[in-house]
Structure 1
Amino acid sequence: MSRQFDAIIIGAGHNGLTCACYLARAGLKVLVLEQSHTIGGMTVTEEITLPGFKSDLHAFGYQFANLSPVPKELNLSAHGFELIWPNINYSHVFPDGGFIAMHRSLEETVRSIGRYSKKDGETWRRLAGQFVEQKDQITRWMNSPPASLTAATLQLAQMPHGMDEYRFELQSTRSWVAEQFEADETRLFIATFASHASVSPDDVGGAHLAWLFTSLIQAVGNRVVRGGMHNLPLALAAYLRSKGGQIRTGARVNKIVVKDNRAVGVRLVDGEEIGVKQIVASNADPRQLIVDFLGPEHIDANLISKMQQYEWGDAYMAIYLALDGPLNYLAGADADRSAYVHPTPPTLDYLSSVYTECRGGLLPAAPLVLMCNDSAIDPDRAPVGKNVMKLVVNNVPYDIKGDATGKIHGRTWDAAKEAYADHLIDLITKTYVPNLRDRILRRVVHSPVDMERAIPSAVRGTVTHGAFLPYQSGAQRPLPGLGQYRMPVPNVYLCGSGSHPGGGVSMAPGRNSAQVILAALQGNDIAS
């Protein structure tokens, strides 16, 4: 084999780079291998529409990462990393021109909700306060290896109100918001954020996710990386190189080479083999690691069978827009000053119908479209006087079996995506943003299939390395027995979003896995 390294990391997404940074900081000689032409994975910024219009291809909001110690521990600000905290974190707009906004100020959020229900405003004050009280505990939970199911259950049982917490963790969003809020608009304002993780109003566990997302954003912001989300992995890469780490792009791994039940290197698709002395960690999705990189020659058939049953969640579609100026929302200027905008009718039944259509294989007639106001928050992402926006279409089928719009004839994504994008832009223009279509200079549409072609870990057009389900979370993520970042081959680890605490930009899987790896190298076991 060619050059020897102490550790090889497969995948230069933000979690893979985070893991690599901590291993290099501990003195290991680290190589990161990335199959794409650039680092970043789901945290990439490119001029995909027109020159000068910088679009975050996937992640835009910096939310759970606000609880991460990584930027401070690695001094990422010294490597060009900087955050913007918008005055309006997100807005929910309705067809009648009404809206609710999540302001940076809790008092302003309470007033915004109060336009529909003063009681709901005070309820939100209480719920937001609960997050502040629990923030340190949540931060520790996120940035530590997960407790075993037995330990977590025992902890719940010993809490004064443990069974209430148990119910809340499994409660559907619909059930919970009906208990907490009286106005349909408030219920949508809070509930919709669970849809960012493909959790419907009627799915188990949606309540806790909706509260966690929204209360966290109220407390620490729906921040944006100045200059584009790509500046996060670029800062991590700069730190890694400062510690002697190396990165190779255009280097796709085909197999982890195993001898005597230990990884001794990796083989690239072109046949090159690279040796490793101690550790291989994968930032790819867990199916690639278990089924492809290791495979049946090193993994028990029963475990491979369980991995084949792993649930991925609903697919996504993205529409990238270069705009000839600002948008005029029916809801008013505050919407254009929001990092995110959720445009929907004011009923949970609407949101449920989207999931029914999507999971039945239909192109939804009016899916939830997350409108990301990239340049409204970070003006340098677009030329002066222009704007850049991304529309993230949540909950579309990977395999198209039919069409709820009555307009789309294609049954493959390559045939259907442009017509479906036309339908969605017409819908938003007619219902929420009258000048949207006229402002478009150029658009680029990425279907779920396009996403998977570009990033193999975007399995079936998903972005979280596995659905958020109670049996795919904590120490059960990705599978029971694999929830502590360790694989059956003793020196192979999972460091990506298929491990605790899951998808999104948090840097936690990368940092947590590095803790486990370094403890193992030192002869300690920190798993709970």
Structure 2
Amino acid sequence: MYDAVIIGSGPNGLSAGCYLARQGLRVLILEAHAEIGGGTRTAELTLPGYRHDVCSAVHPFGYLSPYFQELQLERYGLEWVFPRASVAHPLDGQDAVMLHKSVAETAAGLGTDERAYRKLLQPLAEHVDWLMEDALGPLGIPEHPLFLARFGMRAALPATLFSKLAFRGERARALFAGCTAHSVLPFDKFFTTALGLTFLASGHAVDWPVARGGSRAISGAMQRCFEEAGGEIRLNTRVEQFSQLPPARSYVFDTNPHQLSAIAGDELPGTYRRRLEKFVYGPGVFKIDYALDGPIPWTDPRCRDASTVHLGGTFAEIAAAEKRVWQGKHAERPYVLLAQQSEFDGTRAPAGKHTCWAYCHVPNGSTVDQRETIERQIERFAPGFRDRILARSSMNAPAFEQYNPNYVGGAVTGGAADITQLFTRPVTRIDPYSTPNPKIFICSASSPPGGGVHGMNGYHAARSVVRTLA
């Protein structure tokens, strides 16, 4: 009999597996796909020799993750590649706004908001480790309560209000908007400021890195760590009913709440399953991968210094686009998140060639082709981009769910993180990783602290398992 069976081998399933196996427990991971990794897979989606990250691409929280640091994944072959800047945010008719590791250098490009930005971000930059420990922890008593309280007073505000109170100029507001839009929430919701500030602070702790060779290098390192500790993985093993699972003392689901409900069935009370089935996933994404004949011809060449480029213009433009998507509509000028990994990782494309990864937010389950819309936004800040395209591969929201069932309707963040689910995902419980059945747990991005490749959901869930088995 196994001590733990984990369903799903995304970063959180692997993280849970590493923790449990290192405790000397007998652990099995079951994966429906032919390859481990969930959101950390890499494939030749366009042309031979062009490596594209299928989902996650740039990993500041992976590098800063307290548990990934504890695992020392570099010992298992993971190599981080750092750009010259974390973010470039182009604006019409002016230089791009750049997020550099240096607070002073970033602030210097913000005009009238230079002093305000330094005063706001310097304390966060000096204590990013504290911020990560508390932001990536489960709901409970924070490790640094006074620091988090000072941060939380501002972070709880809607981004629309905070931007007006904190900044006077459009450049700082635009940079803040691009980071806030990672929340996939309209900016008038409470706590949207929290994610915007957290992303800004992370850029002052580390230049947002990519994994050499592709994001699958992260899951590959975790697999080696897990197997070194005695863990076992079975691929091509789809689980649809609880009766298919081998005997174990505990079961950990790296799945969405609907899957947990469907698979566990009568192993969970009907009232709890109904609560799982009410979980809200939020908007999806439409993504395009490009094989390019050369680097992206940005109007401001400094954009090539950044691993991530936020396209969408001003704060008002991005806020309007995100609000429209939340309302179930498509934005005519969407916020586009673009990654250019090959600028820093030569393994991604043949010599002299490049790759590009770009997506926009769309209504959940949307089948609308957004290729023209996305390319129009790229061309807006990089005229001649289309002339560099050798091949493209796109995925709409349903294709994302087919690729990974955790991405319900194309929602790649594990579910909406608005105030109704930010602290109660997937349902309200003192231990959010537990269920009414003491043998069943959830560790996916639908549990705290939410989406992202940092493994903290799996780490916290595994600690909950160990407490139960003790």
Q: TM-score, normalised by structure 2?
A: 0.94
The correspondence of residues 133-172 of structure 1 with structure 2, limited to 5 A, is: 133-142=126-135, 144-147=137-140, 167-172=153-158
The residue number in structure 1 matching 2:117 is 124
Check if 1:308 corresponds to 2:277. yes
The correspondence of residues 475-490 of structure 1 with structure 2, limited to 5 A, is: 476-481=424-429, 483-490=431-438
The residue number in structure 1 matching 2:247 is 275
Structure 1 CA distance for aligned equivalents of residues 169 and 88 of structure 2: 16
Structure 1 CA distance for aligned equivalents of residues 152 and 382 of structure 2: 41
Does the 8 A contact of 2:185 with 2:323 survive in 1? Answer: no
The residue number in structure 2 matching 1:285 is 256
The residue number in structure 1 matching 2:264 is 294
The correspondence of residues 67-216 of structure 1 with structure 2, limited to 5 A, is: 67-113=64-110, 116-117=111-112, 120-142=113-135, 144-147=137-140, 167-216=153-202
- Alignment RMSD: 2.1
Bigger-Rg structure (1/2): 1
The residue number in structure 2 matching 1:27 is 24
Structure 2 CA distance for aligned equivalents of residues 121 and 505 of structure 1: 32
Cα distance change, pair 165–256 in 1 and its aligned pair in 2 (3 A): same
Does the 8 A contact of 1:128 with 1:219 survive in 2? Answer: no
Q: Report runs of 4+ in structure 1 exceeding 4 Å deviation.
A: 159-162, 164-167
Cα distance change, pair 211–143 in 1 and its aligned pair in 2 (3 A): closer
Structure 2 CA distance for aligned equivalents of residues 65 and 93 of structure 1: 26
- Deviation for aligned residue 1:142: 4.3
Structure 2 CA distance for aligned equivalents of residues 382 and 425 of structure 1: 21
Structure 1 CA distance for aligned equivalents of residues 21 and 469 of structure 2: 13
The residue number in structure 2 matching 1:428 is 378
- Deviation for aligned residue 1:275: 2.2
Aligned residue for 1:254, secondary structure, equals: coil
Check if 1:459 corresponds to 2:408. yes
Give unmatched runs, 5+ long, in structure 2.
none
- Deviation for aligned residue 1:482: 6.4
The residue number in structure 1 matching 2:460 is 512
- Deviation for aligned residue 1:306: 2.4
Structure 1 CA distance for aligned equivalents of residues 303 and 237 of structure 2: 42
Aligned residue for 1:233, secondary structure, equals: helix
Aligned residue for 2:130, secondary structure, equals: helix
Aligned residue for 1:146, secondary structure, equals: coil
The residue number in structure 2 matching 1:45 is 42
- Deviation for aligned residue 1:383: 0.5
Aligned residue for 1:371, secondary structure, equals: strand
Choose the corresponding residue for 1:250, options 236, 243, 264. 236
- Deviation for aligned residue 1:224: 1.3
- Deviation for aligned residue 1:369: 0.7
Give unmatched runs, 5+ long, in structure 1.
258-266, 268-272, 401-412, 523-528
- Code of the residue aligned with 1:489 in structure 2: it is N
The correspondence of residues 405-420 of structure 1 with structure 2, limited to 5 A, is: 413=367, 416-417=368-369, 420=370
- Code of the residue aligned with 1:181 in structure 2: it is F
The residue number in structure 2 matching 1:337 is 305
Aligned residue for 2:358, secondary structure, equals: strand
Q: TM-score, normalised by structure 1?
A: 0.84
- Deviation for aligned residue 1:421: 0.4
- Deviation for aligned residue 1:71: 3.5
Structure 2 CA distance for aligned equivalents of residues 142 and 497 of structure 1: 14
* 1:442-492: CA deviation from partner (whole Å, max 9, x where unpaired): 000100010011111101110111111223224x22110264311111011
Does the 8 A contact of 1:14 with 1:233 survive in 2? Answer: yes
Decide which moves more: 70-79 or 29-38.
Answer: 70-79
Cα distance change, pair 482–303 in 1 and its aligned pair in 2 (3 A): farther
Does the 8 A contact of 1:361 with 1:399 survive in 2? Answer: no
* 1:339-373: CA deviation from partner (whole Å, max 9, x where unpaired): 11112222x33223213432343322111111111
Cα distance change, pair 215–421 in 1 and its aligned pair in 2 (3 A): same
- Code of the residue aligned with 1:282 in structure 2: it is F
- Deviation for aligned residue 1:133: 4.5
- Code of the residue aligned with 2:79 in structure 1: it is E
Does the 8 A contact of 1:373 with 1:389 survive in 2? Answer: yes
Check if 1:473 corresponds to 2:419. no
- Code of the residue aligned with 1:428 in structure 2: it is I
Cα distance change, pair 86–166 in 1 and its aligned pair in 2 (3 A): closer
Structure 2 CA distance for aligned equivalents of residues 399 and 72 of structure 1: 36
Structure 2 CA distance for aligned equivalents of residues 360 and 312 of structure 1: 13
Cα distance change, pair 217–456 in 1 and its aligned pair in 2 (3 A): same
Identity %: 28
The residue number in structure 2 matching 1:525 is none
The residue number in structure 2 matching 1:239 is 225
Does the 8 A contact of 1:145 with 1:513 survive in 2? Answer: no
Structure 2 CA distance for aligned equivalents of residues 204 and 160 of structure 1: 20
Structure 1 CA distance for aligned equivalents of residues 147 and 391 of structure 2: 57
